[in-house]
Structure 1
Amino acid sequence: MKGRWLKIFLKTLGGLIVLLVLLFYFATTPIDTTPYFETQYYRNTIQNINEAVKNRTEVQGSLFAGFAKTNITPQVTNSVADPNQDLFTNIKLAGYGDGKIATGVHDSIYAKAIALSINNESVVLISADLVAIPEEIVLNVEKRLKGKISRNQLYFGATHTHASIGNCMPGYVGKSFGGEYQAAVVEWLGKKISDLILKALADRQPAQLSSGYIKVPNLVRNRIIGETGRLNDKLDLLSIVQENGKKASIGVFSAHATVIGPDNDLYSGDYPGYFQRYLEDKAVDIALFFAGTVGSHSNKGEGHKFDKAQYIGETLADSAIVALNKMQYSSRVQLSAISSEIEVPKLQFLYISDRLRLAPFLAKKLMPPMNPIQVQGLKLNNLIWLALPYELSGEYGVDLKNALELQGYNSVLSSFNGQYLGYITPSKYYYFDTYEARLMGWYGPTMGDYLMELNYKMANALTHSRL
């Protein structure tokens, strides 16, 4: 009898082991190291970009520009939420997995826009004090503005403050970084941003434009490998002055807006908020901030929490004023614009081991649904702007920016253009045990080199050169 039960136990144990092995086999997948240029997604994307280049917008003429700004600070209430009155309950601050529910406001957060038109061709640059611009918000805006302006004409960005509105991204990943999805929050922000865009378009009048940069190495650090790492330390600037003297300026910088930290429960623009307020107080009427190549860069400065955020923001703004005062403006602007869909590798999300990741069919269930992925490029005289749906490493960014500068161009590489593909870091870091590579590198070791080839291809098309 004893031997019989032992046989049953061993058979059961063996069956469970086989089942676990099968589950592990089907639930995981080896990391795909296929050279990207041998893949079908690469061939399809190159074809898409070539077609987009043929159909690009190219105009030259007198510039008309309009500016707009809207407050997007939710009012915290303990009673009944009413989005029509900006009243909300239980909004999570987005960006930290352990972020808190907002209980109040330290400093107000905004969305801002600049509309640019030459010869009836228009583009709008939009940035908001948000951790990102979720696709759900962009789709809402696109629907509201149908027949008035197309998605291809809208260039989105975010300041990447981690003390702003969550609850805007569905799926497990969206919930992990920003709380449970709330359709009412998306509708509210969609209306706010749509009205903002229309207001900027309505404000257009004759204007002049200039661009430039200033290096600010004391406010940014390489957070993957520290002080020995390469830096994109440029504060890139675009400045527009209307005929009536009203002035708007955009600053683009690559230090993560994570100064305040995860124990904060108050809305705040972090250091980009201080940057914008200081510029608006000292130099311009409307200041915008776009997160640049933040995929490997963190902030550096004196003090702690809000004191440190103020130090970084105002020091950065002082540097901007130095550069703005040296700019030479032109009312004649050459505008080129390219918008293309791209394809990406299969998901290789969630670290299992150095060789294995979660199987793509399971990984998809954790991610928010995503429409065809879009990249956009813009040329405004000697400024090249690539609006990207991911967080590009500053180490990648500095190479492209240097190549463009050698050809006489200023450049902006901005993140969070309405979709999100995670962090894009150099392939040499893919196997590093870091947050950027291990947790946020979602598409395998060749993804960075693949996307950088596309970025160079877009830049080449905009500059009619070969970088």
Structure 2
Amino acid sequence: MKVLKKVFKVLLITLLSILVAVILLAVFSIAPVNRTEANQDPSYDLMLQRLDSLKKEFRTTSARHQLHVGYSKVNITPSTPMSTAGYGKRKLARFNAVLDSIYIRTLVIDNGSQRVAIVSADLLILPPTVTAILPAKLKPLGFSLNNTYLGAIHSHNSIGHWGKGATQFIYGKYDNDVVEMLAEQIAESIRRASSNMLPSTFYVNKIAIPEAVDNRLIKDGKTDPYLRAVEIHRSDSSKLLFLSYTAHATCLFSRDLELSRDYPGALVDKFERNGYKFTMFMAGAVASHRANPPKFGEVCIEWMADQLQAKYMESRDKLTEVHDSTIAMIHLPITLGEPQVKITPELKVRAWLFRRAFGEYPAFINVLKLGDLVLLGTPCDYSGEFNPRLDSLGQQLSKNVIVTSFNGGYIGYLTPEQYYDVDHYETQLMNWYPPGTGEYLTECLSRLLSIVSNSN
């Protein structure tokens, strides 16, 4: 009997200890969701003050000659199977075949006074771990993050192993060799593009293709249906093309384990087989936007590429020439409130735990002005529902605007505030910051657009 009492006492103490530990863990790691809007956070005013100062200080440099352009693509296809990034359901499964090779694609643009690079990686995102070491790779080439505009195609069937912390359990154990390789190949692509510069003329186009995109967050919700394009004619008669669209590159299913660029890859290949020397794609404002094919899978890849290429070619007579050869770029850190990843609609993970799990990397926004063309880069899955405001401002300022996602930082999904409590992973698990953060970022982008448009 005494033995049983001792055993019972030990069990009771153990259970109570576990209970206390669980309660303490919950107290220190979980808290109620804070619904204070982003514009009420002190970081909001700090950022707007910084933008006001930039408006007073920023000046562009006059071009010394017309725009010169070089281009390159560098293969980053691994020689052995790796885990892919894009679907947690795969549970670290490695790709079992190569549907199509993956690349880093780059345009280098020079006007005699300034030189910039536009780089798109055939990856899910441009990983923050890569961005962190990239400046050292770029410096010998005369580049930095201040004149390198980064993006990705957002394929969910490209390589992983570039994330630290909890990301490793989704997209593959962190591999420093992969991160180094990606940074080195970005630098190599810029080096190659810088070696074949030629005088060039730029043209822009914006084609509505609503049948190819759908709102996956809200039934019959709004979409940004535009394929945005920059066509470049070089003095050797070669034609280059930069494309951006809002539909997620998720034609393939989570069960499909082929390495692939998804529909952006088929699209650029189709153009390069039909008269274009070089084509690159960069994911646009993709939050809540999915492809809208009759059927998903590999047939979706071809259907999307066919639709976008055909509509573009039908609209080539509407190309508008870019007459100004001014170049200006701003790479600006953005201040944010405390992260709050929701585990239920009413409970969040505390900021310290989120940072411990995913690491801390700087977030920033970019603006790149090429005459009357302006690219705006965001560190997130940015919602196309914000684009009409930026398009409208661009029209007022006589600028053609292209918004892109995944600029080398990552802060989750940014969707309109009215969807903050919608039951969807975009607005729950992947919405990492307070309500109104999307509107806040849009305000910052609007001000950057105004700054580069009105500078002299």
User: TM-score, structure 1 length as denominator?
Assistant: 0.89
Q: 2:144 aligns with which of 137, 145, 150?
A: 150
Amino acid at match of 1:40: P
Offset, 1:68: 1.0
3-state SS in 1 of match to 2:426 = helix
Distance 1:325 1:130 in 2: 32
Measure how far apart 1:324 and its partner are.
3.3
| Percent of aligned positions that are identical | 29
Shift of 1:432: 1.2
Cα deviations across residues 119-168 of structure 1 (Å, max 9, x unaligned)?
32111111121111002222333211214211110011111111111111
> How do 1:319-338 and structure 2 match up within 5 A?
319-330=311-322, 332-338=324-330
Q: Secondary structure at the match of 1:339?
A: strand
C-alpha distance in structure 2 between counterparts of 1:36 and 1:141, whole Å: 30
Q: Which of 276, 281, 286 is matched with 1:284 structurally?
A: 276
**Alignment length (residue pairs):** 447
Q: 1:331 to 1:65 in 2, by over 3 A?
A: farther
Partner-residue secondary structure (3-state), 1:146:
helix
5+ residue gaps, structure 1: 77-89
Structure 1 residues 36 and 308: CA distance shift in structure 2, 3 A:
closer
Distance (whole Å) between structure 2 residues aligned to residue 200 and residue 387 of structure 1? 21
Question: Is this contact kept in 1: 2:363–2:411, CA < 8 A?
Answer: no
User: Match for residue 165 of structure 2?
Assistant: 171
Distance 1:407 1:430 in 2: 31
Greater mean alpha carbon deviation, residues 150-159 or residues 35-44: 35-44
- The equivalent residue for 2:379 is 389
Aligned equivalents of 1:285 and 1:125: distance in 2? 17
Q: Is 1:168–1:185's contact at 8 Å kept on the other side of the alignment?
A: yes
Letter in 2 for 1:270: D
State the 1:454 CA deviation.
1.0
The alpha carbon displacement at 1:50 in A equals 3.2
For residues 366-408 of structure 1, the C-alpha deviation after alignment (integer angstroms, 9 at most, x for no partner) is: 11331x3221112222222101111111112233223423543
The DSSP-based 3-state class of the residue aligned with 1:58 is: coil
CA shift digits 1:233-254 (9 cap, x unpaired): 0001112111111221111100
Q: Helix, strand or coil: the match of 2:302?
A: helix
Alignment deviations for residues 9-52 of structure 1 (CA, whole Å, 9 cap, x no partner): 99987776555444322221222233433322123222333344
Give the alignment of 1:69-84 within 5 angstroms: 69-76=73-80
With 10-19 and 144-153 compared, the bigger mean Cα shift is at: 10-19
Does the Cα contact within 8 Å between 1:377 and 1:384 map onto a contact in 2?
yes
Structure 2 residue 63 is the aligned partner of structure 1 residue 64 = no
Contact 2:61-2:113 within 8 A present in 1 as well: no
CA distance in 2, matches of 1:108, 1:404: 36
Note the residue ranges of structure 2 that are not aligned, 5 or more in a row. Answer: none
In the alignment, which residue of structure 2 is the partner of 1:81? none
Tell me which residue corresponds to 1:354: 345
Q: Is the 8 A contact 1:276 1:288 kept in 2?
A: yes
**1 CA distance for matches of 2:297 and 2:400?**
32
**Are the structure 2 counterparts of residues 197 and 9 from structure 1 closer, same or farther at C-alpha, using a change threshold of 3 Å?**
closer
Question: Are 2:245 and 1:253 aligned?
Answer: yes
Q: Distance in 2 between matches of 1:273 and 1:49?
A: 37
- Match for 2:245: what amino acid? F
Equivalents in 2 of 1:94, 1:368: separation in Å?
A: 18
User: Hey, what does 1:263 align to over in structure 2?
Assistant: 255
Aligned match for 2:300, one of 300, 308, 333: 308
Letter in 1 for 2:182: L
Partner of 2:51: 49
Q: Is the 8 A contact 2:37 2:434 kept in 1?
A: no
Report the residue type matching 2:377 in the other structure.
A
8 Å CA contact 1:209, 1:240 repeated in 2: yes
Aligned counterpart, 1:450: 440
Aligned residue among 84, 108, 117 for 1:124: 117
Q: What CA distance in whole angstroms lies between the structure 2 residues aligned with 1:317 and 1:430?
A: 35
CA distance in 2, matches of 1:190, 1:369: 19
Cα distance in structure 2, aligned partners of 1:457 and 1:39: 19
Q: Secondary structure at the match of 2:403?
A: strand
For residue 437 of structure 1, what is the aligned residue in structure 2?
427
Alignment partners' CA distance in 2, 1:70 and 1:448:
34
- 1:118 partner letter: N
Shift of 1:182: 0.7
Letter in 1 for 2:35: T
Q: 2 CA distance for matches of 1:399 and 1:151?
A: 27
SS of the residue 2:318 aligns to: coil
Find the aligned partners of 2:32 and 2:295 in 1 and give their Cα distance: 45
- Contact kept, 8 Å, 1:57 with 1:338, in 2: the verdict is no
- Hey, what's the Cα distance between the residues in 2 that align with 1:47 and 1:406? 24
SS of equivalent to 1:59:
coil
Q: 1:165 to 1:56 in 2, by over 3 A?
A: farther
Instruction: Tell me how large the CA RMSD over aligned residues is.
Output: 2.4
Task: Give the residue type in structure 1 aligned to 2:68.
Answer: F
Amino acid paired to 2:260: S
Compare 303-312 and 321-330 and name the one that shifted more. 321-330
Give a deviation string over 1:276-295, Cα, whole Å, max 9, x none. Answer: 00111113111111100111
**Aligned equivalents of 2:314 and 2:241: distance in 1?**
13
Q: Give the secondary structure class of the aligned counterpart of 1:436.
A: coil
- Structure 1 distance, partners of 2:400, 2:104, is 25
Separation in 1, partners of 2:56, 2:396: 26
Cα displacement string for residues 248-272 of structure 1 (whole angstroms, at most 9, x for unaligned residues): 1111100000001111122111000
